[in-house]
Structure 1
Amino acid sequence: MPRISKLLAAAAACLMLSACTSFSPATDDLMRPPRLTPEQRAINDALDDAALTQNYSLKYPKSGDHRSAFVFHDIDGDGEEEAIVFYEPSIDNTARIVLLDRQDGVWRSLCDLPGAGQDVEFVAFANITAKDASDVVVGWSGSDREEKQLRVYRYSPADRVLVNALAEGVSPGYTTYLIDDLDRNGQADVFLLSSNSRTTLESFWINLLSFDGDAVAIVDKKPLTERILQFAGVTAGRLSAGSARRAIFVDELVPGDSLAVGSTDILVTEVFSVADGELVPVISYSEEGEGEEADYDRLDPDYQKPSLYQMTKRPNTASGANNPNSVPSPLCTDIDGDRAIEIPTARLLPGYDQVDEADRLYLTEYNRLEKDELVRVFAAAINRGGGYMVEFPQQWIGAVTIVNQMENGEWRFIGYNGSDDPLNDLSVELARIRVVSQKDYQDKFLENYQKFSESRGMFSYYGYIPESPSSPLAITWTDLQDMFSLL
């Protein structure tokens, strides 16, 4: 399935994008709006006139699709874009939001509102209060980014200003969020994932923020897993390719010892849909409960079928990486492009059960949800350090393992024989893959290797297929090319 491989590579690439620099001054103090055109100068002059103080600093959203302090969007529906500007006056530590509009060719301020924090986490636009609305959703935070607050602003045509669309007394905090119209009623909802640490025991919740006819309010909430270390990912899509029912998929990093699968942190997934303005659990810790670990031996007379929640438990395959800040993996995604979200699981490759965690290799499997089962649609071994992955055909699963040659960064694919030292038994070798830098010495051992068409910067990728392999697990060079893809 080469197409699925490319889709997974694209999904994995999104998780791996990062940037670093040794030069780290405050961006807000350095950057100013561009002054290249009369239009840009006019917008900046309008902000100067509206700002509470002569001296101010621009505030830049830290995430999301809009990263500029000046965000342009048609908010009033007149076919022309207005400007939203975030700034912090010199008199206090609270950021503000300004709405600028061009009237008779002149940019003017329509309103200047205080924010709910010192920094802007994100800004987004969604039709929450009406089907034809373009409401402004802003995440605010303090300087430590620990306390995040969400606000929804609607445009008031009568007064030509932005007004708070939240119901009186509603001031929702959040850790992460997702905006989506899951029930397809033509109006978007906001899903807020948050923790409540005001009680003796910290609790975690998913909150549904919707328009109730008068204002935007929390119309429903459901508890999540009891102990969550991190919300690792959140996405939305169809529950299955054959159904129009959509859901939100929440990936959570939790302590492994609490779930009886080891001492290291692991991942689980909870899934919720929306019906009649309420959250409907599809896979839920609180609904299914954890109970005792299920017996996975179907031949055992006391066999207990695991719950869907238990089925989603998987090791964090990124935990063995040298980077302690690596993004937990694997996470839910649409792996095959059918608009349905697949739920990943991961298993140790054969022979790695007694290997140190940092050196373990896993087979990642993506599964579709079918009633009360997870059905595999794709499986691959992912080499994050090398920047590539290899899809496993059906006959390889459980029968093939990988030897990681640390000295040259090569992966060797071998048939697993279950011996006392299976990772050192290369008698059934099926393939090799090596990453080679242009700076490396090109030794003679690459003479029998073939080069993959994909490359990344100064790195090239080479593969090797043994001559006349006798194993029924054998593949061809063409097979290996189809199985290989970059992250």
Structure 2
Amino acid sequence: MKLRRFSPVLLAGALCLLLSGCFVKTVDELYTLPRHSDEYDNLQMAIDEVMAADGCSYSAPVSGSNQQSVQLADLDGDGEEEAIVFARTAGEKPLKAYVFDKKDGAYQNVAVIEGNGTAFARVEYVDLDGETGQEILIGRQLTDQVLQSVSAYALENGEIVELMTASYSQFTTCDLDNDGRADLFVLRFDAETHRGAAELYRYRNDQMQRGPEVSLAHDAASVKRIMTGFVAYNIPAVFVTSAAEEDTLETDVFIFRGGTFQNLSSLDETPQTVRNPFVYACDINSDGLVELPELVSLPAADASAETYSLIRWYRLGLDGSREVVLRTYHRFSGGWYVEIPESWDERITISRADEVEGARGGLVFSSWNGSAPAEPIFTIYAFTGDRRMERAQEDGRFLLLEQTDAVYSASLGTANQAKNLTQDELRQMFHIIHVDWNSGET
């Protein structure tokens, strides 16, 4: 099903307003539709009429990917998009979502979704029932604290039908049962006990059915990230990364298999605590599956040296087993990471490089063999400043990657591993850490 978060016309109109000095307009004026065509003039008039009659003001969702006050989606499956206007008024059930549809060539308010709360927290459009048309998920913030509710609605025969309502801390959608319809994954936390549990809502027998509650495998104080992906081929999953402490992360993997909603992490008896606030599950090797991280401390180059950690990325099997597929060192402060060959695992150490003019954060990767002196395999540098390209290629260094504000380069060392490593191979091992723009996290 095709999801339309907003119309290109709306986006273009908004940009025109911004570029023409709209900073002198009121907030409500900024939320209005662009004066673009007779059709949109008609819709704006219909919205203005309803808003004036009910004493409403625009109230855009405060989070998620749909944060416009006026959104477009085909709710009834007729091939024409309805306009959904998010507003707030005084009195009972102050949060209102007005649905406008075109009737006899003119837009009319055909339905309104009312609810309690202080703000629209989040809005999503998904196919829950497998029929034409999209259902709408509306998250509402009920208090100024953390209590929120999510409700699912369908537009049927011109009327709004509520499919379900539940309280939540976080929610996402994913077709966990592989039936071609989106399922609603709801996560809740108890702030006092630090216990969390998930529920899965699936559309069955013309209604949203709630399955048994499944607990997180460990205590948790907050959710850091929820993502969907595949834990195995054709086995979709929801990956919940939570924090028991500020710098301690754990990931739970929820699947629906054999008719049962379950937490695979409960089968994994190996401790998986990651004491690094930046390391999250991801598809690190682009194989279509999500890998989980395990941090392993490396031996120090000498007794006074700083300790660094390697990340082993593993797949979690359906029986709770682990399969390591990649090893990396991530330099989060520098925005890059490098792959480490399997044969080097537990046989390397990392130390700071000698200072080089124009370089920041240089690191030496050396061969480690117990009490024997460490021998450098390669050194990675990040050069900034006006002469960064020139300096990156001096004194035997070669380019790894050029970015807008930095040039990354390396030099090969004298260890045996360096003799079997080419410049091109090291370039292929080197990567930039990409930021998730939705979360602002790596």
**Equivalent residue, structure 1, for 2:183:** 189
Going from structure 1 to structure 2, the CA distance change for 1:433 and 1:453 (only over 3 Å counts) comes to: closer
The answer to whether the Cα contact below 8 Å between 2:142 and 2:149 also exists between their aligned partners in 1 is no
Instruction: Tell me the secondary structure at the aligned position of residue 79 of structure 1.
Output: coil
CA apart distance, 1:234 = 2.4
Q: What CA distance in whole angstroms lies between the structure 2 residues aligned with 1:369 and 1:165?
A: 34
Instruction: Tell me the secondary structure at the aligned position of residue 212 of structure 2.
Output: strand
The amino acid that maps onto 2:179 is: N
Q: Tell me the percent identity.
A: 22
Q: What CA distance in whole angstroms lies between the structure 1 residues aligned with 2:407 and 2:389?
A: 12
CA apart distance, 1:372 = 4.1
CA apart distance, 1:135 = 0.8
**Equivalent residue, structure 1, for 2:30:** 31
Going from structure 1 to structure 2, the CA distance change for 1:394 and 1:309 (only over 3 Å counts) comes to: same
CA apart distance, 1:392 = 0.7
The answer to whether the Cα contact below 8 Å between 2:401 and 2:409 also exists between their aligned partners in 1 is no
The answer to whether the Cα contact below 8 Å between 1:99 and 1:162 also exists between their aligned partners in 2 is no
Q: What CA distance in whole angstroms lies between the structure 2 residues aligned with 1:413 and 1:445?
A: 18
1:350 to 299, 310, 319: 299
Question: What's the C-alpha RMSD, in Å, of the aligned pairs?
Answer: 3.1
**Equivalent residue, structure 1, for 2:431:** 485
Instruction: Tell me the secondary structure at the aligned position of residue 166 of structure 2.
Output: coil
1:384 to 332, 335, 346: 332
CA apart distance, 1:373 = 2.3
**Equivalent residue, structure 2, for 1:266:** 248
CA apart distance, 1:194 = 0.6
Q: What CA distance in whole angstroms lies between the structure 2 residues aligned with 1:124 and 1:355?
A: 53
CA deviation profile, 1:390-437 (whole Å, cap 9, x unmatched): 111122221122213496321121222444xx9xx6x51121221122
The answer to whether the Cα contact below 8 Å between 1:195 and 1:205 also exists between their aligned partners in 2 is yes
**Equivalent residue, structure 1, for 2:159:** 161
**Equivalent residue, structure 2, for 1:13:** none
Q: How does 1:465-484 map to 2 (within 5 A)?
A: 465-466=412-413, 469-474=414-419, 475-484=421-430
Instruction: Tell me the secondary structure at the aligned position of residue 363 of structure 1.
Output: strand
Q: What CA distance in whole angstroms lies between the structure 1 residues aligned with 2:98 and 2:182?
A: 24
Q: Which has the higher contact order (CA 8 A, sep 6+)?
A: 1
Q: What CA distance in whole angstroms lies between the structure 2 residues aligned with 1:40 and 1:212?
A: 38
CA apart distance, 1:88 = 1.6
**Equivalent residue, structure 2, for 1:232:** 224
1:436 to 360, 366, 383: 383
Unaligned segments of structure 2, at least 5 residues = 1-25, 434-442
CA deviation profile, 1:329-369 (whole Å, cap 9, x unmatched): 3222233333332222111222289889xx75321121123
**Equivalent residue, structure 2, for 1:246:** 236
Going from structure 1 to structure 2, the CA distance change for 1:232 and 1:92 (only over 3 Å counts) comes to: same
Q: How does 1:102-141 map to 2 (within 5 A)?
A: 102-141=102-141
What TM-score, normalized by structure 1, do the two folds share? Answer: 0.73
Q: What CA distance in whole angstroms lies between the structure 2 residues aligned with 1:477 and 1:346?
A: 27
Q: What CA distance in whole angstroms lies between the structure 2 residues aligned with 1:478 and 1:277?
A: 48
Instruction: Tell me the secondary structure at the aligned position of residue 172 of structure 1.
Output: strand
Q: Which has more strand, going by share of residues?
A: 2
Unaligned segments of structure 1, at least 5 residues = 1-26, 256-263, 289-307, 317-327
Instruction: Tell me the secondary structure at the aligned position of residue 47 of structure 2.
Output: helix
Q: What CA distance in whole angstroms lies between the structure 2 residues aligned with 1:309 and 1:234?
A: 22
2:344 to 393, 396, 402: 396
Residues 1:74 and 2:78 are matched in the alignment: no
The answer to whether the Cα contact below 8 Å between 2:400 and 2:430 also exists between their aligned partners in 1 is no
CA apart distance, 1:453 = 5.7
CA apart distance, 1:136 = 0.6
* Mean Cα deviation higher: 102-111 or 398-407: 398-407
Q: What CA distance in whole angstroms lies between the structure 1 residues aligned with 2:150 and 2:189?
A: 14
Going from structure 1 to structure 2, the CA distance change for 1:331 and 1:102 (only over 3 Å counts) comes to: same
The answer to whether the Cα contact below 8 Å between 1:141 and 1:148 also exists between their aligned partners in 2 is yes
**Equivalent residue, structure 1, for 2:313:** 366
CA apart distance, 1:464 = 1.7
Instruction: Tell me the secondary structure at the aligned position of residue 167 of structure 2.
Output: coil
**Equivalent residue, structure 1, for 2:213:** 221
The amino acid that maps onto 2:343 is: Q
* Mean Cα deviation higher: 439-448 or 394-403: 439-448
**Equivalent residue, structure 1, for 2:286:** 337
The answer to whether the Cα contact below 8 Å between 1:270 and 1:309 also exists between their aligned partners in 2 is no
CA deviation profile, 1:459-484 (whole Å, cap 9, x unmatched): 22122224xx2423542222211111
The answer to whether the Cα contact below 8 Å between 1:57 and 1:89 also exists between their aligned partners in 2 is yes
* Mean Cα deviation higher: 29-38 or 202-211: 29-38
**Equivalent residue, structure 2, for 1:259:** none
The answer to whether the Cα contact below 8 Å between 2:297 and 2:308 also exists between their aligned partners in 1 is yes
**Equivalent residue, structure 1, for 2:6:** none
Q: How does 1:8-87 map to 2 (within 5 A)?
A: 31-38=30-37, 39-51=39-51, 56-87=56-87
**Equivalent residue, structure 2, for 1:96:** 96
The answer to whether the Cα contact below 8 Å between 1:209 and 1:218 also exists between their aligned partners in 2 is yes
Q: What CA distance in whole angstroms lies between the structure 2 residues aligned with 1:178 and 1:406?
A: 47
The amino acid that maps onto 1:438 is: G
Q: What CA distance in whole angstroms lies between the structure 1 residues aligned with 2:163 and 2:115?
A: 14
CA deviation profile, 1:202-261 (whole Å, cap 9, x unmatched): 5311111223424324222112245202222223333323xx333323222224xxxxxx
Instruction: Tell me the secondary structure at the aligned position of residue 209 of structure 1.
Output: strand
The amino acid that maps onto 1:435 is: A
The amino acid that maps onto 1:251 is: T
The answer to whether the Cα contact below 8 Å between 1:127 and 1:133 also exists between their aligned partners in 2 is yes
